[in-house]
Structure 1
Amino acid sequence: MKKYIYFVFILVLNSCGSQVVSTPKNEITNTKKTHNEILVHGIDRCLSYGRRTKGTFGFVNTEGKELFGKTFRNCSNFFGNYANVYKDSAFGYVDRKGNVKLFPAYDIVYWYTDSIGYAAKNNKLGLINREGKLKTDIEYDDIQFSDESYFTLKKNNKWFIVDGNGKKILHDSIHLKASFVYDGNAIYLDIIDADTKQGIVSMNGEIIVKAKYDEVTGYFSNGFMHVTNENKSGFVNKKGEEVIPLIYDQLSYDFKENLTAAKKNGKWGFINAKNEVVIDFEYDQITQFSEGLAMVTKKGKAGYINSAGEIIIPINLKSTWRGDFSEKLAVFKSSNGKYGYIDKNGKTVIAPIYDSALAFKNGFAYVKVNGSAGFIDKKGAFAVDPKYYEVWSIQEGISRYFIK
């Protein structure tokens, strides 16, 4: 099983984003996931396989109240109305009312945002619904799934895509990469002059981007897809046309505020969708734009620029890559190595007293102090006291926690 987990983990690092899920009536619907959210989920999926023998997991709300009167040996975040759990030597799930359903007949069960998940038995997998009914035989070597009701499965060293009823979507002649389906598209492979190349195919079998690239990220951003050949990056559109030539050392995978970060000759700048250089290549590192500002660094110091390239917050902050603006605040690192929050004028709003800190989301931010984690509000007051070894992002009012 350890070998299997490691294999899935490696695949996750190359996976892409996903889309809105069709949900049963009265179930919480999901918003469109970002690329990073899907990667985090995928890594967390691997971690959730572990049958922890020390410590406990549980759930806490934004008022600091621990929920359900239950703890678990392991669990995932809530995806919609359910979270995956491991308890009493069995995997299953808990709903938002605290009802737990376990499936001891299987080695592992796991769901993401869809009502169809997978079950594992003796290192083989199949699709399963919430009631525990198998939708396919347990005969597959691996499964990747998105929240578009498509599943990428592996059998006999070949990947293929099925729907929630196990019906095969694409013809066997199309060779697929182990990746998520995103916006109804998937990465496919072809052998060109003895080299394996990647392209994009739709769920109806239409070739969107011909397989001629060393790497394709697997999702369109503003109609553009990131592609790489011979360590040079560019973008193609949905007609397969190279709208941004493959001349850059690195490119961000998407466009934010009509710009994307690009690296050329060892320095970073920004280009637009017309391949025009909007901000010169002069920075050591940069982040994508968020709320009108992007963090840039020179000689180990960080500051912020606007989309015209004007310096809005002077480049004299200690560099930290947690610095995207979210809900009008950004994390910064002080000279004493502690983290706090600044506003868009560079003014300190929440003092740097934390050992670790992440961006605000839905009015709350993760922080860690004296080795313990919790959540603060925008006034710096603790909404969830820092008494946990670890907490995870709040999703629809609930976070999971871990205590050693």
Structure 2
Amino acid sequence: MKNLLVLLVTILLGSIEINAQKIDDISFISPYNDGVAAIKKDNQWAFINTEGKIVVDYRDDLVITNFEDYDYPVFNSGRCLIEEVKDGISYYGYIDKEGNTIIQPQYLNATNFENGLAIILELHKNILGKNDVLDKKMIDYSYTESAINPNGKIVHFLSEKPTHITLSKDFIKSPPEIKSKFISETLVAQKNGNRTWSIKTL
């Protein structure tokens, strides 16, 4: 019985020590959004909950968003943007509040979630045929603009037609522009080539 009591006290003290977390040497703390705040240490970001506990550990793949005078990563609808560079090209996906990758980095560009939706540029790979001389497949790449839910399911197609793209770091110096933005829960504004806008109902 005495051994059991000692064991329970040891577990309890260990639990208290783990929960009493101190975070030092932070260079930036963002406002809370979606129940968590971003903190910066060196050149990496993490997220803490309202109790000050780190829920997403420090990492360097979180996408920074500009909010007035400050730049920091943000959660919305339980998702935060991440970036992965493959062959010199950036691809975007999302993590949850435990740091798990929920939507793999696959989009040529993406926005933060807003009211349960995010706008993404989905890449399409079209095999046109085969070059017998070079023994290589001839591939055409394009992308479309869509709105997805937090599970990555496309719920609205925003492009009227695919946009052709050369998938090379020599041609893609920065992510292609997203031409749509939410202006309400049911309306999207879309930029036209002549610097005007159209409004579309979702």
- TM-score bracket for the superposition, by shorter chain length: 0.5 to 0.7
Q: Residue 373 of structure 1: SS of its match in structure 2?
A: strand
**Where does the alignment leave 5 or more consecutive residues of structure 2 unmatched?**
1-21, 66-72, 124-142, 161-177, 194-202
Deviation readout 1:150-172 (Å, 9 max, x if unpaired): xxxxxxxxxxxxxxxxxxxxxxx
Deviation at 1:386, TM superposition (A): 5.2
| Identical-residue share of aligned pairs (%) | 23
Matching residue of 2:105: 352
Decide which of 127, 135, 149 is 1:377's aligned counterpart.
Answer: 149
Decide which of 363, 366, 386 is 2:119's aligned counterpart.
Answer: 366
Q: What amino acid is the match of 2:29?
A: I
Matching residue of 2:64: 321
Decide which of 173, 179, 182 is 1:393's aligned counterpart.
Answer: 182
Q: Residues of 1 paired with 2:96 and 2:109: CA distance?
A: 18
Matching residue of 1:231: none
**Where does the alignment leave 5 or more consecutive residues of structure 1 unmatched?**
1-278
Coordinate RMSD, CA, aligned: 2.6
Deviation at 1:345, TM superposition (A): 0.9
Kept in 2, the 8 Å contact 1:286–1:294? The answer is yes
Q: Residues of 1 paired with 2:91 and 2:31: CA distance?
A: 24
* 2:84 corresponds to 1:295: no
Residues 330 and 403 of structure 1: is their aligned pair in 2 closer, same or farther, counting only changes over 3 Å?
same
Residues 386 and 327 of structure 1: is their aligned pair in 2 closer, same or farther, counting only changes over 3 Å?
same
Matching residue of 2:96: 343
Matching residue of 2:50: 307
Q: Residue 318 of structure 1: SS of its match in structure 2?
A: coil
Q: Give the TM-score normalised by structure 2.
A: 0.52
Kept in 1, the 8 Å contact 2:62–2:80? The answer is no
Kept in 2, the 8 Å contact 1:374–1:387? The answer is yes
Kept in 2, the 8 Å contact 1:300–1:319? The answer is no
* 2:123 corresponds to 1:334: no
Q: Residues of 1 paired with 2:53 and 2:189: CA distance?
A: 41
Q: Residues of 2 paired with 1:309 and 1:401: CA distance?
A: 40
Q: Give the TM-score normalised by structure 1.
A: 0.28
Decide which of 283, 302, 311 is 2:26's aligned counterpart.
Answer: 283
Kept in 2, the 8 Å contact 1:302–1:320? The answer is no
Q: Residues of 1 paired with 2:85 and 2:55: CA distance?
A: 20
**Aligned residue-pair number:** 126
Please show how residues 209-228 of structure 1 align to structure 2 within 5 Å: none
Kept in 2, the 8 Å contact 1:369–1:386? The answer is no
Kept in 1, the 8 Å contact 2:62–2:81? The answer is no
Q: Residues of 1 paired with 2:78 and 2:23: CA distance?
A: 26
Kept in 2, the 8 Å contact 1:318–1:335? The answer is no
Q: Residues of 1 paired with 2:111 and 2:42: CA distance?
A: 23
Q: Residues of 1 paired with 2:91 and 2:27: CA distance?
A: 23
Q: Residue 282 of structure 1: SS of its match in structure 2?
A: coil
Q: What amino acid is the match of 1:393?
A: F
Kept in 1, the 8 Å contact 2:48–2:54? The answer is yes
Kept in 2, the 8 Å contact 1:317–1:334? The answer is no
